Structure formats: structure tokens, C-alpha cells
Structure 1
Amino acid sequence: MLFDRILTRLITRGTLTVRYPDGHIREYRGTAGPGPAAGLDLRDKRAVRRLSTNPGLAFGEEYMRGGLAPLNCTLFELTDLMVLNMMEGAGHPAEKLMEWVRWGRRRFDQLNPAGRSRRNVAHHYDLNGRLYALFLDRDRQYSCAWFPTGEETLEEAQLLKKRHIASKLKLDRPDLEVLDIGCGWGGMALHLAREHGARVTGITLSTEQLETARARAAEAGLSDRVRFELMDYRDWKHPVDRIVSVGMFEHVGIDHYRTFFRTVKGALKEDGVALIHAIGRADGPGSTNAWITKYIFPGGYSPALSEVLPAVERSGLWATDIEVLRLHYAHTIAHWRRRFAANRDAIQSLYDERFCRMFEFYLVGSELAFRRMGHMNWQIQLTRSMETLPLTRDYMVDAERGMAAEARHDARGPLATG
């Protein structure tokens, strides 16, 4: 059997126990070193056939369909074992071929003119708003949190993320005008207005996020300082003091990096500062997994810094600070997975079992991308002039510590700003 030969070659670490559709059980033991143990229940021949020919797409689809299931283990444990062996061993021969296909198509797949960008955003972000409230933090931060110790709660870590980013924006005077590109549900914009006296415009392509963000601004009494617009970043023309963009750059597309950074430069005043926060990959340029592209983020891609920095250089901007966040997103998604599991029945009532399986697989795969597959987050601080900022990073650290000290002395408590 083809699949049996593939697994014999693939499993070099750990142990995989497989129950085939006819009830036969086969154990595959790696000889290259110790590793985790997991089980795979293949429930019909279709699942076996598809896993043999296109595993990058089929594994998630067959889990959604019910053609395969974890055997005496969790989905995370099964996927972890498979990812470990795909990354460290010989790999699946069909997946190597599909990677070449995806590489050849990636400029087409990431072509994101305004109309296509709006459709891609709607695919994921215009879902029922209650879904995100059931697994994100209270502020609905749908991006990497900041875990200085790894022991923080999700709410604490997301608040610390906002402070960490604010420290890099150097918000050193009130009424600075800030543009938030890809503002989500408005949490960052509201934080900058409330805690730093900024005047913020958040732009998004999601109608669901726009509605929620506007309602939150009104509820917080900040509509005079924060406004939200349904707008593509390429349409912004007004110069501002600061630009922040968190978790949006992954949707820009490699064909549009030069346009993005030219737009940022054109939107910054001469003494302006921008901070871009995005998912990246440490192992160089690649392509997006076929399942993620089809079901979660069409047109999305997490770039290597080697793909981003040339566009920054050509724009004429200064990259004044670059920070790589390694396991912070893995910690973040682990929190999301636990919350999703705890609220699974409520989420299933919004959609159905297939949707729940899709989202479970997405969260598991995403966490493992940061634990096993070389993904990380990067933050790039940008200016038009090399003289805009102090000569050292001390001002960032001082600002962040000052925010923490102020919160400790605030009778509202450290989480009241979230």
C-alpha cells in the first residue's frame, strides 16, 4: 500500500499508531531519536487515498469531513507528531511536489487589489462577532500577545502587547494624530486614545469589525478622539504623526510590499514614526499552506524579513528598530485553543460541527507553526528621518516601565485599560 510505504519513510521520530479502514492496526516507530507518540484513525479509503497524494490539503479536509480522527490522543498530539516528522525527516514526497506548485503560484495567489482584498478579509473577519468573543481576550486582540515571563494571563499579555507597541511609537505629547492600518475591533486605537491622549483613525476592510469598533468608541466616550473608516490603506492620503499596523501586513501580498511602504512613507509627517507588527518566517521565503489559503486566509502570507526589508529600503524609510518575537504567539494561540474548547458547544450553536473542526485544526496548526515550523513575529519601527528618534532604545524601556508603574498606582487596576 502506498500510504504504508510513505509512513514507513516519514516517521523517523516518535511512534505513530494507525488504524486502517479495514480495522488493521500498524505501528510506525522512528529510529532517528525519541519523540512523541500519537494515533491516527483512518475511517475510509478516501482519506487514505487523499493523504497519499496531497497531505497539505487533505489532512485538514479529512479531519473536517470525519474521514480521519485522532486515535487515543488529542488532535494537537497527532498533528504535532506529523509536523515534527515532516520538518525533521525526509518529508512526504507529494507535499514536496505541492510546495513547488505553491511556490510557482504564490505571486498570483497573493495578488490583492482592493476588491480582492476586501473579499479576502470578509472571508475570515466578517464571521459572527460572537465567535471571536468566545475565544479571544476581552479586548478582542486577534494578534500575538506579549509574554515577558510566559506566565501571564491572556488579558495581561494582550495589555502588555499594547504597551510594548505604544512604547515604540514614542507617544511623547498629547493629541498626536495616529493612523491604525487594519484596526480590527478597535482595541489598539481605543487604548492609544485613552491612555496616551492620541487622536486615532482606524481603517479596516471588515464591515463586522467596523460596526463593533464604532460601537465600542461610542460606549467608551471616545468618539471625539477615535474614528473608524471602511477603507483600503492605499486610499489614505492625509499625513499623520504616527502609524501603527498590527496583524495586517500578512494580508498585503508580496506583489504589494513596495506600495505598502510607499504609502506608509507618504502618510508620515517628516518627524513621524511607524510601527508594523506581523507574522514572519525565520527560514526564508516560502508559501502558504494550501489548507490555510483555502479555508482561513485566502491571499495571506507570512513573509521572511528578507522579503520585507528590500521594500523598506526602496521606499526610502529608515528601519530604526527590528524585534523578533519567537514563542509569544505560540503562548497566545494556546490560550485561544483552550478557550475555544471550553466554549465549543456555544460556537457549534453559531455554526456547525464541521466549522468547529475547521477552526480547531486552524488553531492547532497555527500554534505548531510557531513551535515547530519556524514562524515568529516581527516588529519594525520606521521613520522618514534618521534624526527623529533618540540614539538608543532606552526611551522604549523607560516608557514601558512608566506605563506599568502608573497602572500599579491606578485605583482601577492594571487591566482596566484593556
Structure 2
Amino acid sequence: MWTKALDGLLTHLFKRGRLRVTYPDGQTRAYGPGDGPEAAVTLHDATLPRQIVISPEMAIGEGYMDGTVTFDGDDVYGFLSLAIMNIAAQGQPWFRRPLEGMRRLTRRLDQFNPVTRSRSNVAHHYDLSGELYDLFLDDDRQYSCAYFARPDMTLEEAQAAKKAHIARKLLIKPGMRVLDIGCGWGGMGLTLARDFGADVTGVTLSREQHAMAKARAEKAGLSDKARFELMDYRDVAGQFDRIVSVGMFEHVGVPHYDEYFASVHRLLRPDGIALIHTIGRAGPPGATSPWITKYIFPGGYCPAMSEATAAIEHHHLVTTDVEVWRLHYAETLREWRRRFEANIDRVRALYDDRFCRMWRYYLIASELTFRLNNQVVFQFQMSPKQDAVPLTRDYLYPGDSDDLRHAAE
């Protein structure tokens, strides 16, 4: 029964390229016309057809981690490229739509993130061995989308360009008080303190990140200008000239969007500026992959633009700019994956083969979601005051604007 159901699902989905599936009973079947990329997968467990029909993302991800799903040549990238390309084009067949509907109905429960649960969710991912992150991130440990202003940039250059671009949007002047919500390992806060003279307070719920950020500030002689606290943004007091949050809003959860932007409004001075940088979806609201929720980012969700802007509007914040970065994160993830795979023996020494497969699958699936399934990055700039920022974007790169005007003349 379940083999037949899976056969029907794959027949519906694969209209481009070709997928060869070897079932647990040894039969091999091909799906798709063969007019494009090809991939092959072997299912080694008799329960997999049922699991895949019920939850393909969970079953394939867990199966690969456990070794009960294997790909010819270990070509995870080729298989997921073919699968995402076809799923995005075809959508789900009728018999899976109720299951997808249930995912959307339960997403608010999955994203219910009060302070105690948020702390646990953060620890799940960010309190892993610090050495793991050294093996694939840049030297500043920027664990968010880089900005490839030139296609030939190194990861280090693109991450520095990201920080500089955000700093320009914040219009920081020396002495300004800046709150960094979800400060990570301190890279953004230290940059704003060192290069722009800001007085930075960074907050995180990760013990590992907090300890490293404090140590980095002390080593750089910036402890008086960049202070890092182990606390939730909802517990921050006072007011700030600027608020920045990079790669943290994905962990807030839809049920807490009003609470989040109420906090931004409460903490921002009447003429202040906030910049929220987050992964998002170019389509309508959806649900997080159950595999990602269970193994990578519990409580996480990448919002549709409509979900974020609706919450911003409720709290008397003027959206002064929205910028959409499209393939920058795909390029960032490609470089993380390349470095991770180059250091996989060192990762295996820290953890085990199952962890290596899990993390590799995560990096590949994430990259391809940006490349093939309309996932993007949003930068929302906002202020309580309508004219807090200049009326055009020329202030970001004034030299470039002059060059463009001269070229037009």
C-alpha cells in the first residue's frame, strides 16, 4: 500500500529530470522524463515508503542521517536540487494537502517561544562546540548572510561588507547608544564600537556566545564600549539611539512578533533608527520544515514580508526602507559548506558520522532553498520618526551616486 502511495507521489512530483529510486524490496523505478538533471536514491528500510508519504522532509533527512537513505555518489546536492526544483513547480498532490494543512495549523504551537523555551532553543544550536563554528565560518564568526558586493569577494570580505552596509543604514555617530539584539559572538557590536565609536550593548541567550563576545571585547580593549549581557531582549531596560538585530528575528516566532516590535518601539528613542536583518520567504506565509525544527532550529521560522510588516505597523514604527537580498545567502552557504566539507574529519573528531551527515544535509538544503525556492533575506529599516533617515538611498554610498550622475551627464 505505502509503496504504491509513494510511487503515486513521485509520479506526480517529478516532471523534470529523472529520479531513480531503489525500494527496500530491491525494485528500481524511474520518475521524470529524463530531460534534465538526474539523481538516484536507495531506501534501505521497509518503513521508509510510509514515512516519506507522510513527511518527506523528515523521512529523507532522518534517513540520510541514520544511513537508511543513501544517494549514489553521496550526491545530496544533486538529489535535493532535483527534488526542490520539481516540488516548487508541481506542488503537493491532493492526498498530501491535508497533511500540509495540519503543519500550518500547528505552526503557532511550534513557534511558541517564551523566555525559557527560547533559551533552550538557542542552546540547542548555538551552544555546540565553539571549534565547530571555527571550521566553517569567517574569522569574525559572522553566522548570517554575507553581502557579496562583488562576485569575486572572499567570505571574509563579504561579511565585512555586510557589517559596513548595515552600519551605513544605521547612520551611527560617535557616542550613540546601540542595542544589538541577538549579538552572536560579538562581531557586529565590536565593529560598531571600534570603527564607529558607538556605545554598544549586546544581548544573547547563548552561554557560549556570551562568553566569547565578552572575551573578545576584553582582548580588543573595548570592554568599556562594547558590553555583552546574557539576557532576553524582552528584559532589556532603557532607551537607545540605534537598534540592530542580525539573524535573530528568525528565532522569535509568529506568536511573538507583536511582543518583539513592541520591545523595539519601547527601547528606541523617538528619533532612533532600527535595522532588522532576517531570512524570509518571497511567497506567502508557510511553515518550517519539520526536520529543521527538530534537528537544527527548534522554534524557528522565516517570515513572509507580509507577516513582519503587519507587526511593525501595529507599533507606531515607520518602515523607512526595505531591502531584499536574494542569492547572497546561497553564496554564503556554499562557502560554509565548502569549508565544512574540507574540515569534515575534524568535525567527526568533535562529534560523529551522524552529526556530520546532519550538518552537511542542513547546509546543502539551506543553500538550495535560497537558490531554487524563493527564500531571501529582508532588511527592515524603521523609526518612530518619518524623517529620521535621508529621503533617498544616496547616503549609503555617496561616491557611487556621484559617479552615476556624472556617467549620466
Q: Provide the TM-score with structure 2 as the length reference.
A: 0.94
CA RMSD of aligned residues (A): 1.7
Aligned to 2:82: 81
Q: Distance in 2 between matches of 1:361 and 1:46?
A: 21
Query: Per the alignment, in what secondary structure is the counterpart of residue 355 of structure 2?
Result: helix
Residue pair 1:146, 1:160 contacting (<8 A) in 2 also: yes
Tell me the residue number matched to 2:168. Answer: 167
The answer to whether the aligner puts 1:157 opposite 2:158 as a matched pair is yes
In structure 1, distance between residues paired with 2:94 and 2:353: 32
Amino acid of the structure 2 residue aligned with 1:105: T
CA contact (8 A) 2:39 2:72 kept: yes
* Counterpart in the other structure of 1:354: 354
Name the counterpart of 1:15. 18
1:43 corresponds to:
44
Note if contact 1:12-1:29 (Cα within 8 Å) is conserved in structure 2: yes
Name 1:409's counterpart in structure 2.
Answer: none
Contact 1:326 1:376 in 2 (8 A): yes
Q: Match of 1:255? A: 255
Q: Using a 3 Å threshold, how does the CA distance of structure 1 residues 98 and 272 change in structure 2: closer, same or farther?
A: same
Alignment CA distance shift 1:358-1:216 (3 Å):
same
Distance 1:373 1:94, change over 3 A: farther
How far has the Cα of 1:80 moved from its partner?
0.9
Q: Matches of 1:259 and 1:203 in 2, distance apart? A: 17
Structure 1 residues 319 and 90 mapped into 2: Cα distance closer, same or farther (>3 Å)? closer
Q: 1:126 to 1:399 in 2, by over 3 A?
A: farther
Shift of 1:73: 5.6
Task: Name 1:285's counterpart in structure 2.
Answer: 285
Aligned positions of 1:49-60 closer than 5 A: 49-60=50-61
Q: 2:27 aligns with which of 19, 24, 33?
A: 24
Q: Which residue of 1 aligns with 2:177?
A: 177
C-alpha separation in 2, matches of 1:141 and 1:94: 42
1:229 is paired with a residue whose SS is: strand
Q: Deviations over 1:124-173 (max 9, x none)?
A: 111111111111111110000001233211111100000010010001x2
Relative to structure 1, is the Cα distance of residues 142 and 170 closer, same or farther in structure 2, using a 3 angstrom cutoff? same
Matched, 1:101 2:102: yes
Three-state SS of the structure 1 residue aligned to 2:378 is strand
Q: 1:157 to 1:400 in 2, by over 3 A?
A: farther
Residue 99 of structure 1 aligns to which amino acid in structure 2? E
Give the 3 Å change call, closer, same or farther, for CA 95–184 of structure 1 in structure 2.
Answer: farther
- The answer as to whether partners of 2:323 and 2:380 remain within 8 angstroms in 1 is yes
Q: CA deviation at 1:224?
A: 1.3
Secondary structure of the corresponding residue to residue 324 of structure 1: strand
1:145 corresponding residue in structure 2: 146
Task: Output the amino acid matched with 2:45.
Answer: D
> The residue matched to 1:258 in structure 2 has which SS?
helix
- Contact persistence 2:394–2:401 (CA under 8 A): no
Instruction: Please say if residues 15 and 30 of structure 1, whose CA atoms lie closer than 8 Å, have aligned partners that are also in contact.
Output: yes
Q: Per the alignment, in what secondary structure is the counterpart of residue 18 of structure 1?
A: strand
Q: Residue type of the partner of 1:219?
A: K
Deviation digits for residues 382-401 of structure 1, max 9, x if unmatched?
Answer: 11111222222211123899
- Residue 240 of structure 2 is aligned to residue 240 of structure 1: yes
- Output the amino acid matched with 2:15: T
C-alpha separation between the residues in 2 aligned to 1:351 and 1:400? 47
Any residues of structure 2 matched to 1:312-351 within 5 Å, and which? 312-351=312-351
Q: 1:299 to 1:231 in 2, by over 3 A?
A: same
Deviation at 1:94, TM superposition (A): 6.0
Letter in 2 for 1:127: L
TM-score (normalised: structure 1): 0.92
1:414 maps to what in 2? none
Contact 1:53 1:94 in 2 (8 A): no
**Aligned partner of residue 153 in structure 2, secondary structure:** coil
Q: State how far apart, in whole Å, the 2-side matches of 1:68 and 1:270 are.
A: 55
- Which stretch has the larger CA shift, 384-393 or 197-206? 384-393
Corresponding residue of 1:408: none
Determine the C-alpha separation between the residues in 1 that align with 2:357 and 2:75. Answer: 13
Change (3 A) 1:73 1:128: closer
Partner residue of 2:405?
A: none
Q: SS state of the match for residue 279, structure 1? A: strand
Distance 1:254 1:400 in 2: 38
Distance 1:264 1:399 in 2: 32
Q: What SS class does the counterpart of residue 315 from structure 1 fall into?
A: coil
- State the percentage of identical aligned residues: 53
Moved more, 3-12 or 240-249: 3-12
Distance 1:366 1:95 in 2: 23
Letter in 2 for 1:365: A
Uncovered stretches (5+) of structure 2, i.e. residues with no partner: 403-409
1:107 to 1:286, Cα distance in 2 relative to 1, 3 A: same
Amino acid aligned to 1:286: G
Q: Match of 2:406?
A: none
Mapped to 2, the partners of 1:65 and 1:310 lie a distance apart of: 41
| Aligned positions, number | 399
Which residues of 2 match residues 88-237 of structure 1 at below 5 A? 88-91=89-92, 95-171=96-172, 173-237=173-237
3-state SS of paired residue (2:106): helix
> For 2:109 and 2:55, how far apart are their aligned partners in 1?
21
The corresponding residue for 2:365 is 365
Question: Post-superposition shift, 1:219?
Answer: 1.1
* Greater CA drift, 216-225 or 201-210: 216-225
